[in-house]
């Protein structure tokens, strides 16, 4: 049994007990969050709007962290233009606790 969920503008294939990194969620560590399902595959596959309204995907926030540092370097030749900046993405590690396909 698995589901495809959408969070942070990205889609993830999840199964119960799986841990994954997603973009920062506004929930404290230890809190629970419901994710938006796009597809459910169990005994039958559900991907219509009415069927997905009954599907619940629950997750627990394990921790908040920051991704690796990325270096952004801009350069224009023969003009003396150089800019160096960095970026670290804010991330949340979640654990999928339940996937239910209500009646």
Q: What is the pTM of this model?
A: 0.85
Residue 5's H or E segment, with its range, is strand 2-7
pLDDT at position 101 is 87
Strand 45-46 with 32-41, pairing: antiparallel
| Predicted confidence pLDDT, tens digits, the chain (103 residues) | 999 999 999 999 999 999 999 999 999 999 999 999 999 998 889 989 999 999 999 999 999 999 999 999 999 999 999 999 999 999 999 999 999 987 6
pLDDT at position 103 is 60
Domain ranges for the chain: 2-100
Maximum C-alpha span of the chain: 67
Q: Are 40 and 48 in contact (CB under 8 A)?
A: no
**DSSP-assigned letters across all residues of 74-92:** EEETTTTEEEEEEE--EEE
Separation CA 90–CA 42 (nearest Å): 33
């Amino acid at each position: 049994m698995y589901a495809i969920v959408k969070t942070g503008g990205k889609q993830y294939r999840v199964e119960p007990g799986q841990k994954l990194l997603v973009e920062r969620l506004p929930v404290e560590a230890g809190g629970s969050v419901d994710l938006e399902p796009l597809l459910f595959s169990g005994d039958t596959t559900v991907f219509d709007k009415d069927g997905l309204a009954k599907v619940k995907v629950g997750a627990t926030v394990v921790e908040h962290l920051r991704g690796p540092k990325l270096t952004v370097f801009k350069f224009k030749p023969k003009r003396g233009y150089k800019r160096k900046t960095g970026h670290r993405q804010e991330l949340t590690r979640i654990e999928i606790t339940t996937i239910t396909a209500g009646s």
